[in-house]
Protein backbone atom coordinates (compact mmCIF):
# COMPACT_ATOMS: atom_id res chain seq x y z
CA UNK A 1 0.00 0.00 0.00
CA UNK A 2 1.24 3.44 -0.92
CA UNK A 3 0.83 4.92 2.55
CA UNK A 4 2.06 8.34 1.47
CA UNK A 5 -1.02 8.62 -0.75
CA UNK A 6 -3.52 8.08 2.07
CA UNK A 7 -5.35 11.01 3.68
CA UNK A 8 -4.18 12.30 7.06
CA UNK A 9 -6.83 12.28 9.76
CA UNK A 10 -10.36 10.93 9.52
CA UNK A 11 -13.74 12.28 8.43
CA UNK A 12 -16.50 12.67 11.00
CA UNK A 13 -19.28 11.39 8.77
CA UNK A 14 -19.85 10.29 5.19
CA UNK A 15 -22.65 8.98 3.00
CA UNK A 16 -23.83 8.34 -0.52
CA UNK A 17 -26.70 10.80 -0.93
CA UNK A 18 -27.84 9.26 -4.20
CA UNK A 19 -26.73 6.14 -6.08
CA UNK A 20 -26.62 6.92 -9.78
CA UNK A 21 -27.13 4.83 -12.90
CA UNK A 22 -26.19 4.66 -16.56
CA UNK A 23 -27.61 2.59 -19.45
CA UNK A 24 -26.06 -0.82 -20.05
CA UNK A 25 -25.33 0.33 -23.58
CA UNK A 26 -23.55 3.65 -23.34
CA UNK A 27 -22.84 6.07 -24.94
CA UNK A 28 -26.30 6.21 -26.48
CA UNK A 29 -26.78 6.75 -30.22
CA UNK A 30 -27.11 10.30 -31.49
CA UNK A 31 -30.68 11.55 -31.43
CA UNK A 32 -31.75 9.31 -28.54
CA UNK A 33 -32.33 10.24 -24.90
CA UNK A 34 -30.48 8.38 -22.16
CA UNK A 35 -31.50 8.24 -18.52
CA UNK A 36 -28.34 8.94 -16.52
CA UNK A 37 -27.85 9.68 -12.83
CA UNK A 38 -24.70 10.75 -11.02
CA UNK A 39 -23.75 9.14 -7.74
CA UNK A 40 -23.63 12.01 -5.24
CA UNK A 41 -21.32 11.77 -2.22
CA UNK A 42 -21.23 13.61 1.09
CA UNK A 43 -18.86 13.97 4.03
CA UNK A 44 -18.23 16.15 7.05
CA UNK A 45 -14.80 16.72 8.51
CA UNK A 46 -14.00 19.41 11.04
CA UNK A 47 -15.52 22.65 9.79
CA UNK A 48 -15.92 21.33 6.22
CA UNK A 49 -19.17 19.98 4.74
CA UNK A 50 -18.50 18.45 1.32
CA UNK A 51 -20.66 17.30 -1.61
CA UNK A 52 -19.14 15.29 -4.45
CA UNK A 53 -20.52 15.29 -8.03
CA UNK A 54 -23.93 16.99 -7.67
CA UNK A 55 -24.87 16.22 -11.25
CA UNK A 56 -27.84 14.74 -13.12
CA UNK A 57 -30.50 13.35 -10.76
CA UNK A 58 -34.24 12.74 -11.22
CA UNK A 59 -35.05 15.60 -8.83
CA UNK A 60 -33.01 17.98 -6.70
CA UNK A 61 -34.86 16.54 -3.71
CA UNK A 62 -32.78 13.35 -3.89
CA UNK A 63 -29.78 15.51 -2.98
CA UNK A 64 -31.44 18.04 -0.69
CA UNK A 65 -33.67 15.70 1.34
CA UNK A 66 -30.82 13.44 2.56
CA UNK A 67 -28.86 16.55 3.47
CA UNK A 68 -31.83 17.91 5.43
CA UNK A 69 -32.09 14.60 7.30
CA UNK A 70 -28.50 15.20 8.43
CA UNK A 71 -29.30 18.75 9.53
CA UNK A 72 -27.47 20.26 6.55
CA UNK A 73 -28.90 23.10 4.47
CA UNK A 74 -27.52 23.98 1.02
CA UNK A 75 -25.97 27.09 2.58
CA UNK A 76 -24.03 24.91 5.03
CA UNK A 77 -22.07 23.14 2.29
CA UNK A 78 -18.54 24.55 2.24
CA UNK A 79 -16.99 22.52 -0.59
CA UNK A 80 -18.13 20.89 -3.82
CA UNK A 81 -15.81 18.48 -5.63
CA UNK A 82 -16.10 17.50 -9.31
CA UNK A 83 -14.62 14.15 -10.28
CA UNK A 84 -14.52 15.58 -13.81
CA UNK A 85 -16.31 18.19 -15.91
CA UNK A 86 -19.00 16.22 -17.74
CA UNK A 87 -22.39 17.88 -17.10
CA UNK A 88 -23.89 14.70 -15.64
CA UNK A 89 -21.56 15.25 -12.65
CA UNK A 90 -21.74 19.03 -12.32
CA UNK A 91 -25.22 20.20 -13.26
CA UNK A 92 -26.54 20.95 -9.74
CA UNK A 93 -23.46 22.62 -8.27
CA UNK A 94 -25.32 25.94 -8.12
CA UNK A 95 -27.48 24.55 -5.31
CA UNK A 96 -24.55 25.31 -3.01
CA UNK A 97 -23.97 29.03 -3.35
CA UNK A 98 -21.63 29.40 -0.37
CA UNK A 99 -19.31 26.56 -1.38
CA UNK A 100 -15.91 26.71 -2.96
CA UNK A 101 -15.55 24.28 -5.87
CA UNK A 102 -12.64 21.90 -6.48
CA UNK A 103 -11.46 20.30 -9.70
CA UNK A 104 -8.17 19.06 -11.10
CA UNK A 105 -6.83 22.57 -11.76
CA UNK A 106 -7.89 24.64 -8.81
CA UNK A 107 -10.36 25.95 -6.25
CA UNK A 108 -13.08 28.43 -7.26
CA UNK A 109 -15.24 30.82 -5.24
CA UNK A 110 -17.07 33.85 -6.61
CA UNK A 111 -14.51 35.48 -8.95
CA UNK A 112 -11.44 33.88 -7.33
CA UNK A 113 -9.52 31.02 -8.97
CA UNK A 114 -6.86 29.57 -6.69
CA UNK A 115 -4.54 27.73 -9.04
CA UNK A 116 -3.30 24.35 -7.80
CA UNK A 117 -3.11 20.80 -9.10
CA UNK A 118 -5.38 18.33 -7.31
CA UNK A 119 -2.71 15.68 -6.78
CA UNK A 120 -2.23 15.19 -3.03
CA UNK A 121 -4.39 18.15 -2.02
CA UNK A 122 -6.01 17.83 1.43
CA UNK A 123 -9.52 19.30 1.30
CA UNK A 124 -10.14 18.57 4.99
CA UNK A 125 -8.84 16.16 7.62
CA UNK A 126 -9.22 12.69 6.13
CA UNK A 127 -10.03 13.94 2.61
CA UNK A 128 -7.38 13.87 -0.11
CA UNK A 129 -7.55 14.31 -3.89
CA UNK A 130 -5.48 12.35 -6.38
CA UNK A 131 -5.39 12.70 -10.15
CA UNK A 132 -6.67 9.67 -12.05
CA UNK A 133 -7.01 10.65 -15.71
CA UNK A 134 -8.42 8.34 -18.35
CA UNK A 135 -12.17 8.85 -18.66
CA UNK A 136 -11.15 12.48 -19.13
CA UNK A 137 -7.77 14.07 -18.61
CA UNK A 138 -9.24 16.09 -15.73
CA UNK A 139 -10.50 13.15 -13.65
CA UNK A 140 -9.73 13.08 -9.93
CA UNK A 141 -10.49 10.55 -7.20
CA UNK A 142 -11.53 11.60 -3.69
CA UNK A 143 -9.99 9.48 -0.93
CA UNK A 144 -11.79 9.58 2.42
CA UNK A 145 -10.40 8.01 5.59
CA UNK A 146 -13.43 6.82 7.59
CA UNK A 147 -13.85 4.87 10.83
CA UNK A 148 -14.57 1.81 8.67
CA UNK A 149 -11.57 2.23 6.36
CA UNK A 150 -10.66 4.01 3.14
CA UNK A 151 -13.47 5.02 0.78
CA UNK A 152 -12.64 6.03 -2.80
CA UNK A 153 -15.09 8.21 -4.75
CA UNK A 154 -14.07 7.76 -8.39
CA UNK A 155 -15.24 7.59 -12.00
CA UNK A 156 -12.70 4.86 -12.79
CA UNK A 157 -15.71 2.57 -12.39
CA UNK A 158 -19.21 3.53 -13.52
CA UNK A 159 -20.66 0.79 -11.33
CA UNK A 160 -19.29 -2.40 -9.75
CA UNK A 161 -19.24 -4.34 -13.04
CA UNK A 162 -18.57 -1.60 -15.57
CA UNK A 163 -16.82 -0.70 -17.67
CA UNK A 164 -15.80 -4.36 -17.75
CA UNK A 165 -12.81 -3.58 -19.95
CA UNK A 166 -11.85 -0.33 -21.65
CA UNK A 167 -13.83 2.85 -21.01
CA UNK A 168 -15.73 3.38 -24.32
CA UNK A 169 -15.38 7.16 -24.11
CA UNK A 170 -11.93 7.40 -22.49
CA UNK A 171 -9.36 9.77 -23.90
CA UNK A 172 -6.66 7.33 -22.74
CA UNK A 173 -7.44 3.75 -21.76
CA UNK A 174 -3.79 3.28 -20.80
CA UNK A 175 -4.25 6.01 -18.16
CA UNK A 176 -7.69 4.63 -17.27
CA UNK A 177 -6.37 1.17 -16.36
CA UNK A 178 -3.33 2.64 -14.61
CA UNK A 179 -5.70 4.72 -12.48
CA UNK A 180 -7.69 1.63 -11.53
CA UNK A 181 -4.53 -0.16 -10.47
CA UNK A 182 -3.46 2.86 -8.44
CA UNK A 183 -6.74 2.96 -6.51
CA UNK A 184 -6.82 -0.82 -6.03
CA UNK A 185 -3.28 -0.70 -4.61
CA UNK A 186 -4.59 1.54 -1.82
CA UNK A 187 -6.88 -1.33 -0.75
CA UNK A 188 -10.04 0.73 -0.19
CA UNK A 189 -12.78 -0.74 1.96
CA UNK A 190 -15.36 0.66 -0.46
CA UNK A 191 -15.37 2.20 -3.92
CA UNK A 192 -18.11 4.71 -4.74
CA UNK A 193 -18.40 4.67 -8.55
CA UNK A 194 -19.66 7.40 -10.84
CA UNK A 195 -23.03 5.84 -11.64
CA UNK A 196 -23.88 3.18 -9.07
CA UNK A 197 -23.95 2.14 -5.43
CA UNK A 198 -20.79 1.68 -3.37
CA UNK A 199 -19.12 -1.71 -3.70
CA UNK A 200 -16.33 -3.78 -2.19
CA UNK A 201 -13.33 -4.92 -4.21
CA UNK A 202 -13.45 -8.57 -5.21
CA UNK A 203 -11.64 -10.80 -7.67
CA UNK A 204 -14.46 -9.98 -10.11
CA UNK A 205 -13.91 -6.22 -9.98
CA UNK A 206 -12.87 -5.02 -13.44
CA UNK A 207 -9.22 -3.99 -13.58
CA distance 179 to 165: 13
Q: Report pLDDT digits (tens) over 120-157.
A: 999 999 999 999 999 999 999 999 999 999 999 999 99
Q: Is residue 206 one of the residues assigned to a domain?
A: no
Q: What is the CATH number of the domain that holds 107?
A: 3.60.15.10
Domain-located, residue 197: no
Query: How many angstroms separate the CA atoms of 114 and 107, rounded?
Result: 5
Laid out side by side, the sheet with 48-52 consists of: 13-18, 40-45, 48-52, 79-81, 100-102, 106-109, 112-115
Query: What pLDDT is recorded for position 1?
Result: 36
State the total domains in the chain.
Answer: 1
Residue 164 lies in a domain: yes
Report yes or no on 207 lying in a domain: no
**Which residue range forms the structural domain that includes residue 14?**
3-192
Judge contact between 143 and 127, C-beta under 8 A: yes
Q: What is the pLDDT of residues 49-72, one digit of tens each?
A: 999 999 999 999 999 999 999 999
Give the number of C-alpha atoms closer than 13 A to the C-alpha of residue 46, restricted to the C-beta side: 11
Residue 190 has pLDDT above 90, yes or no: yes
Mean predicted confidence (pLDDT) in 172-194: 97
Rounded CA-CA distance 190/193 in Å is: 10
Question: In whole angstroms, what is the distance from residue 175 CA to residue 202 CA?
Answer: 22
Q: Is residue 150 part of a domain?
A: yes
What whole-number percentage of the chain has pLDDT above 70? 99
Q: pLDDT category, 3, cuts 50, 70, 90?
A: low
Task: Assign 186 to helix, strand or coil.
Answer: coil
Say what the pLDDT of residue 2 is: 45
Residue 204 forms part of a structural domain: no
Mean pLDDT of the chain: 95
- Within a domain: 203: no
In a domain, 120, yes or no: yes
CB-based burial, 107-130: b 16+ in 10 Å, e otherwise = bbeeeeeeeeebeebebbbbbbbb
- Judged on CB neighbours under 10 Å (0-12, 13-18, 19+), 184 is middle
The whole-number pLDDT of residue 200 equals 97
Q: Give the pLDDT confidence score for residue 5 in this predicted structure.
A: 81
H helix or E strand, kind and range, residue 178: helix 173-185
Amino acid sequence: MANNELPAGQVDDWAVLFSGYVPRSFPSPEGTTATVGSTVGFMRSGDKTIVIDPGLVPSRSVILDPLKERGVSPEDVTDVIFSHHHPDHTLNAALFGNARTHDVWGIYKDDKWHVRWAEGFEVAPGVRLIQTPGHTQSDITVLAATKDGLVAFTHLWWRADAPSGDDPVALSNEDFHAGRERVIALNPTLIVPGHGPAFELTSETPR
